[in-house]
């Protein structure tokens, strides 16, 4: 039974029994305690805890989940993956133990022809909490299970809570005996590989108090409403119903594994280490596909880093298997075809998915090449000095300068027998993060990090008289000059300080609008305004650089906003409102702005949407925005009570807190009506133009539009026009014919590439035949050593070609080196059967560096003067085996 059919059968079963089918929530979760949904109950958490009333008495779902705490164990066990799907049925104060147990038993054991899974009831074992006599009795009555197959277990195994005060309760787990070939007899308490858990029933009936661990807390009493939360592992059920040994071999993962094995030229099941790497690839490629489909983008923090790590581990595993070409273009398509029956969105968003995935692989390949050289040099130095640990400073350099993740440094150093000073690395990382946090705090406080000093200024002088909506210039008085550590008597030329004025015309960064630029001038000083913030309610703080003279508290000054800057800012902010209205006009009211940023000439706008926007839709949005500009819609500002603004349909964004009186900005009346504190143009035509420059994903179900506006918008369009003109001139073709002309050129280039590849293959074949004919006998093994022009990939192709031309049935070893110090070694099947291992031989030749599979391996870092010596060593190693 295919996995998609198992999923469908589960939902149908519970829908027929009164459960509402709830679609899977996206993998990224708004829960601040989690990066991703890690259990089927997470989307239902507010209903199970009583924070919200459930919309339905009973529900069912198949929830996508991610768990990455034990990512290094992926591929080593038979039943754990980083991405998995949890089938669940839930009751919110409706049914309880008897019905939950009855449903699980019925669906598990009912014949497949009747809509069940058809598991043999005599091979099902269950566990219950040792105190739960009710569950034990129900299993006897409903399922007819003998006591011997109802196993009592303690809090560690069969009592559930969320780790904090709240609902808790005993649980009952279902296990299936997969037979003596997979482990010892005696039930799940003896062997959880042979007896695979496939369903867990949680009976939420108690409330727990404070305490640690699985049992270090008091039970406060019974819940007023008892709930049911169950989870059936979809991959585990597929493993059982498809007769597989592990979840990596089911229909949603095995095709990826098989393609990876084919690319790497290895056979699954022939080598334990290679099998682990193949399973890592199968798991991680699928996981990355699903994360990308839900809008997660590779990055250096949080969710993005998890995705980046998973992608990089899959690419590195392919390299360890001996495949050095781009792997994701081959594997992502296979994963898409596996997952599309259950998740059609992976097909709809595939262009965006692969764009991000392939770009990440390309970047990582470059990082790996550069970082590996640096790491190998550092490890060699440590070994030469008799050390066993790579300094934390070196690991931090690899991370900070070369983008080499610490987990990869740890893994690659371990392969060469060297540890890493993890504590030293962590200390340096923490220092860097603290500097970044301090910089962010300084920016948000206008450069002054002493908030106590700012509070003193506010208490002494009251709020700033803020005039940004009315004027570009004010005559002001300096109330305070503050450095990083508090007030200073004066600031001199070249210094950057924070300045508080009694009144200010400068817009302080807020509502997505960047702060104003301009100058503060006095009789004895000139200062450039770098940033303007509101670190405390009512207080405007200017970060300035003194460009001439000396500025002190009490000085009278003129504060002047740069008029060109303000004009650009007004165009960008009004352009944001226009684009938002055009977006909703084109896509509908659900495309509601969830974040924005604008500065002179540029704007970006984030909004919830699943899937990339097509070029046609982007053009429609841009056209709707520019139609509003051509119609010269009036821009008006009104103050009104919040209730009246809501009644008018004004959009309140960003979950901001509003007072009773709010500022409403309208463009064309009801066409665009938003609560806003920014600066705006007087008529829409003053925006000039809105030219969309980019559209991308910025998170789960979240898209971002970027645009150039005003003079910068016209400049962007002019550059695009000039680019098209130059291309048309170079191709000697009218603009209208450029797509066809370029397509023809690309076709010819591809044909030329194919011809070059054919000629190169022919040349390699001729060279390989000659080299194979010159093989030397080393203790019964034919050995060929040679140098290859070009890259390690070309050396690899030559080594394989020579190996395939050695006499059939004879053990053979082929080593090809490059001028840059790379080495590739390939073995024939008889050589491997005789006990030779390519990975082990490469490590011997290179002093512990390098690695790969038993069939083919590689390494690098050979000094040019030692190249021939290393090659000459191979016959001795092989002959002495």
* 349-408 residue pLDDT tens: 888 788 788 888 887 887 777 777 788 888 888 887 778 888 888 888 887 776 677 777
The single-letter DSSP state of residue 250 is S
The model's confidence at residue 700, banded by pLDDT at 50, 70 and 90, is very low
Identify the burial level of 548 via C-beta atoms within 10 angstroms of its C-beta, where 0-12 means exposed, 13-18 middle and 19 or more buried: middle
Q: Which of 553, 543, 569 is nearest to 444 (CA)?
A: 543
- Residue whose entry in the numeric block shows the structure tokens 């913030």: 533
Flag whether 573 is marked binding. Answer: yes
d(C-alpha 599, C-alpha 576), whole Å: 10
- Using the predicted structure, report yes or no on whether residue 610 has a pLDDT greater than 70: no
Distances (CA, A) of 587 to 148, 596, 614, 618, 620: 60, 18, 12, 10, 10
CB atoms within 10 A of CB 366: 12
Q: Token pair for residue 211? A: 């305490």
- Using the predicted structure, report yes or no on whether residue 16 has a pLDDT greater than 90: yes
The model's confidence at residue 654, banded by pLDDT at 50, 70 and 90, is very low
Q: What pLDDT is attached to residue 357?
A: 87
Flag whether 399 is marked binding. Answer: no
Helix (H, G, I), strand (E, B) or coil at 31: coil
Lowest mean pLDDT among 152-161, 656-665, 704-713: 656-665
Give 790's contacts (C-beta < 8 A, 6+ positions apart).
818
The single-letter DSSP state of residue 142 is I
Helix 615-630 to helix 563-587 angle, to the nearest 10 degrees? 120
- For CA atoms 267, 268, 274, 280, give the dihedral sign: positive
* 51-91 residue pLDDT tens: 678 889 999 999 999 987 667 678 777 667 899 999 999 99
Q: What pLDDT is attached to residue 442?
A: 52
d(C-alpha 844, C-alpha 850), whole Å: 9
d(C-alpha 311, C-alpha 314), whole Å: 5
Domains of the chain plus CATH, in order, are 3-244 (3.30.930.10), 254-387 (no CATH), 445-561 (2.40.30.130), 566-710 (3.30.980.10), 758-879 (3.10.310.40)
- Using the predicted structure, report yes or no on whether residue 656 has a pLDDT greater than 60: no
d(C-alpha 175, C-alpha 201), whole Å: 12
Q: What pLDDT is attached to residue 798?
A: 92
Mean pLDDT of the chain: 88
- Residue whose entry in the numeric block shows the structure tokens 């070994």: 383
Q: Which of 612, 507, 633, 608 is nearest to 561 (CA)?
A: 507
Q: What pLDDT is attached to residue 173?
A: 96
Q: What pLDDT is attached to residue 233?
A: 93
Flag whether 676 is marked binding. Answer: yes
Distances (CA, A) of 874 to 504, 787, 798, 815, 869: 78, 14, 17, 8, 9
- Using the predicted structure, report yes or no on whether residue 720 has a pLDDT greater than 50: yes
Q: Token pair for residue 103? A: 């449903």
* 440-476 residue pLDDT tens: 445 444 455 466 788 888 888 999 999 999 999 999 9
Q: What pLDDT is attached to residue 650?
A: 87
The model's confidence at residue 138, banded by pLDDT at 50, 70 and 90, is very high
Flag whether 680 is marked binding. Answer: yes
Asked if residues 660 and 690 have their Cβ atoms less than 8 Å apart, the reply is: no
The predicted model scores a pTM of 0.54
């Amino acid at each position: 039974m295919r996995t998609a059919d198992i999923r469908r059968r589960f939902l149908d079963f519970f829908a027929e029994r009164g459960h509402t089918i709830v679609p899977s929530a996206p993998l990224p979760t708004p829960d601040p305690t989690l990066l991703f949904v890690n259990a089927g109950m997470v989307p239902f958490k507010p209903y199970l805890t009583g924070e919200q009333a459930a919309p339905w008495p009973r529900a069912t779902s198949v929830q996508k989940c991610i768990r990455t705490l034990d990512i290094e164990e992926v591929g080593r066990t038979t039943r754990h993956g980083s991405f998995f799907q949890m089938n669940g049925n839930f009751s919110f104060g409706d049914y309880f133990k008897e019905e939950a147990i009855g449903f699980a038993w019925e669906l598990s054991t009912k014949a497949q022809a009747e809509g069940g899974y058809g598991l043999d009831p005599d091979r099902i074992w269950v566990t219950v909490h040792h105190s739960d006599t009710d569950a034990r009795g129900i299993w006897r009555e409903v399922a007819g299970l003998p006591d011997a197959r109802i196993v009592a277990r303690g809090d560690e195994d069969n009592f559930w809570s969320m780790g904090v005060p709240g609902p808790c309760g005993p649980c009952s787990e279902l296990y299936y005996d997969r037979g003596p070939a997979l482990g010892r007899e005696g039930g799940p308490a003896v062997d959880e590989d042979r007896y695979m858990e496939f369903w867990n029933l949680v009976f939420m009936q108690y409330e727990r108090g404070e305490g640690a661990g699985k049992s270090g807390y008091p039970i406060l009493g019974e819940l007023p409403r008892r709930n049911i939360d169950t989870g059936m592992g979809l991959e585990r059920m597929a493993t059982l119903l498809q007769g597989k040994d592990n979840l990596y071999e089911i229909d949603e993962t095995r095709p990826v594994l098989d393609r990876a094995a084919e690319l790497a030229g290895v056979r699954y099941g022939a080598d334990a280490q290679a099998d682990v790497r193949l399973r890592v690839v199968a798991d991680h490629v699928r996981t990355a596909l699903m994360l990308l489909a839900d809008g997660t983008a590779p990055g250096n923090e949080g969710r993005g880093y998890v995705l980046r790590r998973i992608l990089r581990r899959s690419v590195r595993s392919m390299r360890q298997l001996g495949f050095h070409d781009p792997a994701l273009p081959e594997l992502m398509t296979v994963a898409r075809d596996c997952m599309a029956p259950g998740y059609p969105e992976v097909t709809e968003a595939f262009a965006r998915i692969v764009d991000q995935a392939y770009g990440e692989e390309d970047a990582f390949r470059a990082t790996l090449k550069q970082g590996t050289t640096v790491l190998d040099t550092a490890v060699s130095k440590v070994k030469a000095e008799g050390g066993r640990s790579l300094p934390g400073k070196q690991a931090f350099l690899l991370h900070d300068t070369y983008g080499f993740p610490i987990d990869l440094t740890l893994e690659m150093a371990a392969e060469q027998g060297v540890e890493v000073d993890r504590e030293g690395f962590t200390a340096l990382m923490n220092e860097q993060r603290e500097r970044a946090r301090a910089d962010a705090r300084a920016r948000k406080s206008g450069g002054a990090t002493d908030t106590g000093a700012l509070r003193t200024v506010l208490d002494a002088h009251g709020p700033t008289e803020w005039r940004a909506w009315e004027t570009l210039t004010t005559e002001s008085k300096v109330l305070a000059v503050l450095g990083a550590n508090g007030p200073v008597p004066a600031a001199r030329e070249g210094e950057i300080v924070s300045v508080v004025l009694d009144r200010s015309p400068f817009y302080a960064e807020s509502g997505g609008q960047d702060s104003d630029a301009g100058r503060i001038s006095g009789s004895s000083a000139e200062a450039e305004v770098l940033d303007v913030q509101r670190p405390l309610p009512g207080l405007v703080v200017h970060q300035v650089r003194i460009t001439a003279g000396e500025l002190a508290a009490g000085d009278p000054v003129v504060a002047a906003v740069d008029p060109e800057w303000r004009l650009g800012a007004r165009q960008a902010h009004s352009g944001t409102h226009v684009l938002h209205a055009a977006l909703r006009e084109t896509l509908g009211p659900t495309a509601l702005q969830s974040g924005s940023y604008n500065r002179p000439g540029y704007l970006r706008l984030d909004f919830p949407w699943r899937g990339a926007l097509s070029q046609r839709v982007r053009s429609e949005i841009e056209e709707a925005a520019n139609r509003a500009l051509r119609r010269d819609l009036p821009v008006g500002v009104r103050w009104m009570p919040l209730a009246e603004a809501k009644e008018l349909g004004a959009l309140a964004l960003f979950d901001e807190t509003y007072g009773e009186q709010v500022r409403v900005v309208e463009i064309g009346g009801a066409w665009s009506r938003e609560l806003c504190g920014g600066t705006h143009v007087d008529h829409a035509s003053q925006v000039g133009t809105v030219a969309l420059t980019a559209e991308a994903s910025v998170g789960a179900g979240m898209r971002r539009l970027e645009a150039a506006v005003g003079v910068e918008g016209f400049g962007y369009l002019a550059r695009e026009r000039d680019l098209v003109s130059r291309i048309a001139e170079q191709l000697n073709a009218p603009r209208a014919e450029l797509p066809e002309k370029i397509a023809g050129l690309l076709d010819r280039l591809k044909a030329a590439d194919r011809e070059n590849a054919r000629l190169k293959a022919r040349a390699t074949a001729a060279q390989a035949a000659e080299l194979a004919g010159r093989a030397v006998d080393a203790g019964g093994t034919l050995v060929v050593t040679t140098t290859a022009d070009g890259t390690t990939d070309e050396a690899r192709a030559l080594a394989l070609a020579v190996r395939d031309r050695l006499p059939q049935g004879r053990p053979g070893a082929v080593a090809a080196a490059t001028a840059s110090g790379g080495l590739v070694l390939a073995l024939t099947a008889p050589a491997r059967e005789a006990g030779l291992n390519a990975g082990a031989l490469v490590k011997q030749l290179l002093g512990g560096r390098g690695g790969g599979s038993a069939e083919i391996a590689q390494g690098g870092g050979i000094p040019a003067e030692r190249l021939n010596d290393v090659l000459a060593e191979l016959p001795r190693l092989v002959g002495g085996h």
